[in-house]
Amino acid sequence: MEMYSAAFPVLSLILFTCIAGLAAVLLLPADRGEAIRYVSTGCSGVALALSLYVFIAYDRSLGGMQFVEQVQWVPSLGISYINGVDGFGASLLLLTGIVFFTGVLTMWEHEVRVKEFYALFIVLVTGVFGMFMALDLFFLFVWYDVSLFPMYLLIVVWGSTNREYGAMKLTLFLLAGSALILPGIIYLVAESGMHTFSLPDLVAHARLSPFAQKLAFFLFYVGFGILAGVWPFHTWSPAGHVAAPTAVSMLHAGVLMKIGAFGILRVGIFLCPEGWRFWAPVMALLATVGIVYGALAGLRQTDLKFVIGYSSVSHMGIVGLGLATLNVDGMNGAVFQMFAHGIMTALFFSAVGYIYDRTHTREFADLGGLCRVMPAAGGYFILAALTGIGVPCLASFWAELLVFIGAFKAYPAYGAVAITALAINALFILRVVEKTCFGPVNEKWAHLPDVSFGLGLPRLVLACAIIIFGLMPSLMYETIQSASVALIGGLP
């Protein structure tokens, strides 16, 4: 792994921005909701700008780890504070920045316990940012858990439908995942005999026995896989997404599930390539089952958020299938799908959140003709649905295309089954769109105002991202490619 030091610690600056925002929110008195919102928006805006800078400034022809910062932290344990991004990290940082910014804006109207909400929200995002840039296993795990623990309160205090159940289930599932990851990390570090948690050092010098790699990869795959919604560990995901408030659903389905997949990639695949190769057929099978299961379970849902929740399981299955292909196309597709699905789900939840805040129902049988009542809000909903289906010229299309190219090379049967399931699901999603947005207007909602420009801003940003990366996929593709070619090429 090539390492290029940063002239200026821009990655840490992202974290400091979040921490400064958190401090400012905590210091403001609780009754000044307006000020707290502006501070959070400012903080998320700066974070977005910085992550956009990282994405643009990342040198694709150079590849490797860039913007690397390194500080000794606890030398006696071999812990150091190392940050750096490769093509994978840079794209996902951008995703986090976008979803953070739009998430804060989406919650603009909400009034309950504003201070605590934004404080916990920023803590969560700090963890996500940290996870995508951390190159030390200790910090990686710390950030991973930092991004999980605010979830419980965020869902239980500000959530809806069945929130106590959803929150507890989600937290226990995800922490059960980290209960496998931590032993895995400690085991690898102990096995390597190198007394360091530094990922680049371990990748370069550790000589791990095939057995150790298989065991550790299994722990990482199941541990991170729970968060990535791998079937059969996905059951927390629809329940949790439905219970969570809009911005948290956006962040959770949009970014947090990607942390799981990213963990499998960064820790599992980078450190245990032998284990990866050994378990890849299992990964492919589970991913395919997940795609089919998510698509079919979605058919039975009547609640819009459940529809999105199950489609997330299905789409994360596509990521899993890509990671299991062991070839460059599959890897490119998997990471591209993480990005595209993140933006797409964020838009989906954001659009549904707006509709739910007005109508207080998410049963699509109760809705109808929304496009006539609120054309803009309906438009965003339709765009998200189309992206989810994988319509060409929208970001998800390229991602899914790449994954299936990779999958047909490696597992043609699984690829065929998965595509069929997605096609069935696509028909269903179109029916949902028809029932919600078209058809006769439900008179109860005829008076509702359309989304204003200010409130629509977060959706607009997300929609733009979908279209830009759909029309010019090379922006994203080349960044990811610079990392995946090196990864696959460097395999023993």
Partner 1 sequence: MTGWTLFAPELFMLVAAGIFLILSLGRPAAGRDHAAALVISAIGLSLGVWAVGLEGVLFAGVYRIDLFSQVFKVLVGAAFFLVICLCGDLSGVSEKRHSEFYFLLALCTLALMLLASCVHLLAVYLALELSSYSLYILVCLRKGRQKGLESGLKYFMTGACASALMLFGLAVLYGTGAGLSLAELGTRLPGRIHEPVVLAGIVLALSGFLFKMAAFPFHFWAPDAYEGAPHQVAAYIATASKVGGIAVFMRIIASAGGAGDRLAWFLIVVSVVSMTAGNLAAIAQKDLKRLLAFSSVAHAGYVMIGILSFNAMGLAGASFYAMSLLVMKLVCFMVVVKAAPHGDNIEIRHLAGLHGRAPILAAALMLALFGLAGIPPTVGFTAKLLVFTAAVENGLLWLVVAAMANVVISLYYYLQVLKAAYFIEPERGGLALSVSWAENLLALVLAGLIVAAGIYPRPFIAAAQAMTAGLV
Among candidate residues 172, 129, 117, the one with its CA nearest the CA of residue 16: 129
- Please tell me whether residue 72 adopts helix, strand or coil conformation: strand
Identify the three-state secondary structure at position 83: strand
Q: Give kind and range of the element (H or E) at residue 413.
A: helix 412-437
25's tokens: 């929110």
Q: How far is the CB of 149 from partner 1 (least distance, A)?
A: 5
Judge contact between 66 and 86, C-beta under 8 A.
yes
User: Is 142 a binder of partner 1 (CB under 8 A)?
Assistant: yes
| Choices 58-66, 150-158, 249-257, 270-278; region in contact with partner 1 by CB under 8 A | 150-158
Smallest separation, CB 112 to partner 1 (Å): 12
When asked if residue 175 is in the footprint of partner 1 (CB under 8 A), the reply is: yes
Q: Which stretch binds partner 1 (CB under 8 A): 1-9, 165-173, 307-315, 377-385?
A: 165-173
As given in the structure block, the two tokens for residue 333 are 């597709």
Instruction: Establish if 457 lies at the interface with partner 1 (CB under 8 A).
Output: no
The minimum distance between CB 161 and partner 1, in angstroms, equals 15
Select from 90-98, 136-144, 224-232, 343-351 the region that touches partner 1 (CB under 8 A). Answer: 136-144
Q: Does 176 bind partner 1 (CB under 8 A)?
A: yes
* Pair 242, 166: CB distance under 8 Å: yes
CB atoms within 10 A of CB 492: 5
Among 164, 357, 434, 478, binds partner 1 (CB under 8 A): 164
Instruction: Examine residue 61 and tell whether it contacts partner 1 (CB under 8 A).
Output: no
How many Å separate Cα 16 from the centre of its chain? 21
Q: Which of 57, 112, 172, 491 binds partner 1 (CB under 8 A)?
A: 172
Q: Binding of partner 1 at residue 171 (CB under 8 A)? A: yes
Of residues 176 and 285, the one with the C-beta less far from partner 1: 176
The Cα–Cα gap between 254 and 262 comes to: 13
- Residue whose pair of structure tokens reads 């047909």 in the numeric block: 408
Task: Return the half-sphere exposure (C-beta side, CA atoms, 13 A cut-off) of residue 206.
Answer: 27
Map residues 6-35 to x or -, x wherever contact with partner 1 holds by CB under 8 A.
------------------------x-----
User: Among residues 216 and 370, whose Cβ is nearest to partner 1?
Assistant: 216
Nearer to partner 1, 145 or 450 (CB): 145
Nearest to 296 by CA among 436, 438, 425, 140: 425
By the rule CB under 8 A, 165 interacts with partner 1: no
Question: Least Å distance between CB 189 and partner 1?
Answer: 7
Site string for partner 1, 185-204 (x = CB under 8 A): -xx-xx--------------
Q: Using CB under 8 A, pick the residue from 35, 49, 179, 475 that binds partner 1.
A: 179
Residue 278 contacts partner 1 per CB under 8 A: no
Q: Is 282 in the site for partner 1 (CB under 8 A)?
A: no
Pick from 273, 440, 465: nearest CA to 350: 465
Is residue 152 at the binding interface for partner 1, with CB under 8 A as the rule? yes
Footprint (CB under 8 A) of partner 1, residues 72-131: 73-77, 116
What contacts 24+ positions apart, CB below 8 Å, involve 477-480? Answer: 477/332, 477/336, 477/398, 478/60, 479/55, 479/58, 479/60, 479/87, 479/90, 479/91, 480/87, 480/88, 480/91, 480/331, 480/332, 480/335, 480/336
Nearest to 202 by CA among 275, 135, 277, 259: 135
Of 88 and 141, nearer to partner 1 (C-beta) is 141
Rounded least distance, CB 113 to partner 1, Å = 8
Q: How many CA atoms does the CB half-sphere of 75 hold within 13 Å? A: 2
Residue 411 interacts with partner 1 (CB under 8 A): yes or no: no
CA 165 distance to own-chain centroid:
23
Q: Alpha helices, DSSP H only, in 264-303?
A: 270-271, 273-299
E strand spans, 188-300: none
Number of residues that bind partner 1 (CB under 8 A): 33
Q: Which of 16, 53, 149, 438 binds partner 1 (CB under 8 A)?
A: 149
Stretch that binds partner 1, among 180-188, 364-372, 450-458, 482-490 (CB under 8 A): 180-188
Shortest distance (Å) from residue 394 CB to partner 1: 38
Note the residues at the interface with partner 1 (CB under 8 A): 30, 73-77, 116, 138, 141-142, 145-146, 148-149, 152-153, 156-157, 164, 168, 171-172, 175-176, 178-180, 182-183, 186-187, 189-190
